[in-house]
Amino acid sequence: MPLLELQINGVSRRLDVDPERSLLSVLRDDLDLTGAKYGCGEGQCGACTVLVDDRPTRSCLTKVASVAGRPLITIEGLERSGQLHPVQKAFAEADAMQCGYCTPGMIMESVALLRRQADPAAPEIVHALEGHICRCGTYDRIVRAVRRAAEATKGGTG
Amino acid sequence: MSGAPPPSGDRLTLEPERYELAAGPAYRFDVDRREFVKLLGGGLVVMVAAAAAPAQESGARGGGAGSPPREIAAWLHVAADGTVTAYTGKVEFGQDIRTSLTQAVADELRAPLPSIRLVMGDTDLTPFDQGTFGSRTTPFMAAQLRQVAAAARETLLDLAVAKWSVDRSALDAREGEVVHAPSGRALRFGELTQGQALVRTVAADPSPTPVSRWTVAGRSIPKVNARDIVTGRHRYTSDLTRPGLWHGRVLRPPAIGATLVSLDASGVDTKRVSVVHDGDFVGVSAPTAAEAALAAGQLKADWKTSPQPSDGQIFEYLKKTPPETRDGDGRGAGAQVSGSVAQARAAAPLRLEQSYTVAYIAHAPLEPRAALAEWRDGKLTVWTGTQRPFGVRTELAEAFRLSEEKVRVIVPDTGAGYGGKHTGEAAIEAARLARAAGHPVKLVWTREEEFAWAYFRPAGVIDVKSGARADGTLTAWEFHTYNCGASGIRTPYDVANQTVQFHPVRSPLRQGSYRALAATANHFARETHMDEVARAAGVDALEMRRRNLKDARVRAVLDAAAERFGWPPSRTPARGYGLAAGTEKGSYLATGAEVSIEPGGGVRVRRLVTAFECGAVVNPDHLRNQVEGAMVQGLGGALFEAVRFEDGLITTDRFSRYRVPRFSDVPELDVVLVDRPDLPSAGAGETPLVCVAPAIGNAIFDATGTRLRSLPLVPSGLPK
């Protein structure tokens, strides 16, 4: 099999994998990047969300070959020299989680939203996150966390 | 029990919840504590004997007869460097008990929060625990950890007395130090142990710090491991790996009740893949998950199916199926009777009789069942997300004919359960595959497996007959619950003549515990019926409840909810308003709902107000989070969640077919916390769910005049 080159969190990785496999399985099983979660395998829950070219992408439905050479960001790539990303910080401070299993996907989707739109109103956040499930029901807190991150990064970069 | 008056205490004793209290283990082997202490190295170990622990938590084996087991309820270690490690058999599933229990330890020990680590749900390290369910962590485990932490604090004070030869009353423990104010001397807790290995076993002395002296507990403190969650660093079971790990896959039957006739595995490359065929169990494991999935698809199995009921007939099925007998213990067999319902109804000007139903629903935790099993030197270690680590240890020991000391179950903080992860099927499957493969095996159930092969919240039928005076004062109450359980079956309203009975039934689907259990179904039936009586009497819903209610705690939350909600509400076209109240597991609550009827017949819940009282509040923000989460989860079961099945096949086997609440479904949520620092803290992870459905159903009636008596209320909009 030809080697695939993936650009993950700023690092280039060459992998000998079946190009038909899902990006999620390669991240988790081959690269031990387990922040992106399996929740449904059909793009319904959003737990597997990563950024491809800055776009939120369901890694469970994405063939690994289709993202070769494109910049990928996972939850593990948000921290910068020990500093949490403002969205991560806001989720922690707003206690926008219970079991936390959906949290990485929620954070990645929110990071993408704030990159497109620096100051989204609550209905816009709801719209952007509608494809994510939090079975613990912390939806309200997640909306508040995203608002908090938007406030914190006003005038800055997200 | 027939003929006996209903108990006057808080708890109905019809039966302990049948879907939660699994029998205790047949054998329980004491951990060798000398070995354990050696592992810990220097420092101070304090253990609290379990004698004073509540029976539910110490888990008296074999049904509770006899003297309490000679056991340790809790232990705690203060290391020479001051690190405190507390050990509890409870597990973290999103209830935020890792945080609240850490707060309790910090409070009693007078140690800074960051110096405390909690080891949870590890059968080799933590004291025996029956499981994390029934909202018992806060009332019981927090009390046990407070005891052990208080004993450790007193021991540290003793050490300082001996070291400094000072009067004990002049010493104070605070912020991880013992301080002698008169001389200005202070020593860190760890320094006081001087590298010795000290072990103290103390008899339980329940004199915990009164709420008025709580310093850490009682406050909102963010989740102690929030950073690990938001960075993706926390490892759930499904994220774990081991050297030489293989991946497992189980071949599921085509329908419930199917048995395996034959298996042809000749298509599988057995040089790369391990195949297990053991009774009806068929599974494979391979070096990669992809190979395992491929191999499972190459198996040719022949199954024999048998006729199974479908969801359309389930309620008649439950009513006509003869009662299940339970080991001759009679639980659930008798009715609770006081006075004469028949006579009271005959004399009552208002008589109602209605039937209510609830569907099976799925827990659908976002992390499906997962387990990683490893055999080494005859010992089996399994990491798995279960609410009953010791129960799963027993299941594994029985499945593999091992003594329990040869089995270790470790529960990483888990991607939720809601009562759905009491059992060890994934653990047993992974262990069976690992034994055959000669490799550690990780098995992560697919979403389809989780929906189809886990267990469900039971479906049920509830028949209610009532009699009331013209002003809505109840005189007769008859309440029969079929299948779904006895939790919350007893009415908090004062009715002189009552018959209350739970009828166990053999369920065609696998069923079990679910957050709040049958209290949701029983509250739905009762509080809907209360609304029907109020309407028949022409009495306001709040006034009618108050008229029948003596219980001061229910009244208090009802009044608090009504006040925040603004009851009675002013009329708005296409809007409706409903109330419900109740009590369960030591907590008290009332919920007000506002709904709107959308063009096209859709129902939208606009606002939910819940007043909640669970004694002294330990962590207000996390309590709020639990109440909000329970309301959102309750919304799903109230409006649209239902497991559909046809000929033994679960047809709602993925999120695209089983609708759960999403962002846009969430109404305005308003939580009124009624703090009672004078009362012991009760658990709060479950009960806030139970009034959501009846409040919404009553609001829909208010808006439309249509009475809905089945959960879910509006799976596809209002009935035409």
Q: What is the 3-state secondary structure (H, E, C) of B585-616?
A: CCEEEEEEEEEEECCCCCEEEEEEEEEEECCC
* pLDDT tens track for B617-658: 988 988 999 999 999 999 999 999 999 999 999 999 999 999
Contacts of B470 (CB under 8 A, 6+ apart): B349, B350, B537
| A157 belongs to a structural domain | no
B628: nearest CB among A92, A104, A137: A137
| A158 belongs to a structural domain | no
**B383 close to B371: Cβ distance less than 8 angstroms:** yes
CA distance A69 to chain B (A): 23
Cβ–Cβ contacts within 10 Å for residue A88, how many?
Answer: 26
| Residue B423: pLDDT over 70 | yes
CB contact under 8 A, B662 and A28: no
- The answer to which of A56-65, B6-15, B195-204 has the lowest mean pLDDT is B6-15
A103 near B CB under 8 A: yes
Which residues on chain B are in Cβ contact (under 8 Å) with A37?
A: 236, 238-239, 366-367, 415
- What pLDDT, on the 0 to 100 scale, is given for residue B200? 85
Q: Are strands A11-15 and A4-8 parallel, antiparallel or unpaired?
A: antiparallel
Percentage, residues of chain B above pLDDT 90: 75
Residues A72 and A109 in one domain: no
**B592 close to B579: Cβ distance less than 8 angstroms:** yes
Measured at the CA of B79, the angle between CA B226 and CA B84, to 5 degrees, comes to: 30
Closest residue in chain B to residue A133, using alpha carbons only: B662
Which residues on chain A are in Cβ contact (under 8 Å) with B416?
A: 98-99, 101, 135-136
The residue-averaged pLDDT of A47-76 equals 98
CB contact under 8 A, A93 and B664: no
Task: Examine the fold and report which residue of A31, A56, A77 is the final residue of a domain before the chain moves on.
Answer: A77
- What pLDDT, on the 0 to 100 scale, is given for residue B50? 63
**B333 close to B323: Cβ distance less than 8 angstroms:** yes
CB contact under 8 A, A88 and B415: no
Residues A64 and A19 in one domain: yes
A16-75 residues touching B, CB cutoff 8 A: 18, 21, 25, 28-29, 32-42, 44-45, 47, 74-75
- What pLDDT, on the 0 to 100 scale, is given for residue B140? 78
The verdict on whether omega for the bond into residue B127 sits within 30 degrees of 0, i.e. cis, is no
pLDDT confidence tier of residue B13, bands split at 50, 70 and 90: very low
Instruction: Give SS3 for A151.
Output: helix
Distance of CA B549 to the CA centre of its chain: 28
| A109 belongs to a structural domain | yes
Computed over every residue of chain B, the mean pLDDT equals 89
CB contact under 8 A, A136 and B239: no
| A56 belongs to a structural domain | yes
| Residue B539: pLDDT over 70 | yes
Instruction: Give SS3 for B264.
Output: strand
Residues A53 and A94 in one domain: no
- Answer left, alpha or beta for residue B476, where phi above 0 means left and psi between -120 and 50 means alpha: beta
Task: Examine the fold and report which residue of A45, A77, A109 is the final residue of a domain before the chain moves on.
Answer: A77
CB contact under 8 A, A37 and B446: no
CB contact under 8 A, A101 and B288: no
CB contact under 8 A, B414 and A133: no
Percentage, residues of chain B above pLDDT 70: 89
Q: Are strands A4-8 and A71-73 parallel, antiparallel or unpaired?
A: parallel
A41: nearest CB among B288, B416, B446: B446
Going along chain B from its start, the domains and CATH numbers come out as: 33-230 (3.30.365.10), 237-302+369-444 (3.30.365.10), 321-360+456-711 (3.30.365.10)
Cα–Cα distance, B426 to B414 (Å, whole number): 14
- H or E stretch including B630? helix B620-639
pLDDT confidence tier of residue B68, bands split at 50, 70 and 90: very low
- What pLDDT, on the 0 to 100 scale, is given for residue B33? 52
The residue-averaged pLDDT of B497-512 equals 93
Residues A34 and A91 in one domain: no
Q: How many domains in chain A?
A: 2
Task: Examine the fold and report which residue of A77, A97, A124 is the final residue of a domain before the chain moves on.
Answer: A77
* pLDDT tens track for B542-589: 999 999 999 999 999 999 999 999 999 998 999 999 999 999 999 999
Residues A14 and A42 in one domain: yes
Residues A72 and A112 in one domain: no
Cα–Cα distance, B468 to B58 (Å, whole number): 44
Q: What are the C-alpha distances in Å from B26 to residues B59, B62, B370, B390, B399?
A: 12, 7, 26, 12, 13
Residues A66 and A27 in one domain: yes
Contacts of B418 (CB under 8 A, 6+ apart): A135, B93, B363, B365, B514, B515, B633
| A137 belongs to a structural domain | yes
ipTM of the complex: 0.97
Question: What torsion, rounded to 10 degrees, do the Cα atoms B284, B285, B289, B294 define?
Answer: -40
Rounded (to 5) percent helix, strand, coil in chain B: 30, 25, 45
Cα–Cα distance, B462 to B454 (Å, whole number): 25
CB contact under 8 A, B664 and A126: yes
Identify from B366, B446, B619 which residue to disrupt to test chain A contact, counting A C-beta atoms within 10 A and taking the largest count: B366
Residues A8 and A67 in one domain: yes
A91: nearest CB among B230, B368, B663: B230
CB contact under 8 A, A139 and B447: no
- H or E stretch including B497? strand B497-503
CATH (domain of A65): 3.10.20.30
CA dihedral (B502, B504, B510, B513) positive or negative: positive
pLDDT confidence tier of residue A154, bands split at 50, 70 and 90: confident
Closest residue in chain B to residue A123, using alpha carbons only: B664
Residues A115 and A53 in one domain: no
| A144 belongs to a structural domain | yes
Instruction: Give SS3 for B370.
Output: strand
Residues A50 and A93 in one domain: no
- What pLDDT, on the 0 to 100 scale, is given for residue B332? 52
Closest residue in chain A to residue B685, using alpha carbons only: A136
Residues A71 and A96 in one domain: no
How many residue contacts between A and B have a Cβ separation below 8 Å? Answer: 169
Range of A44's domain?
4-77
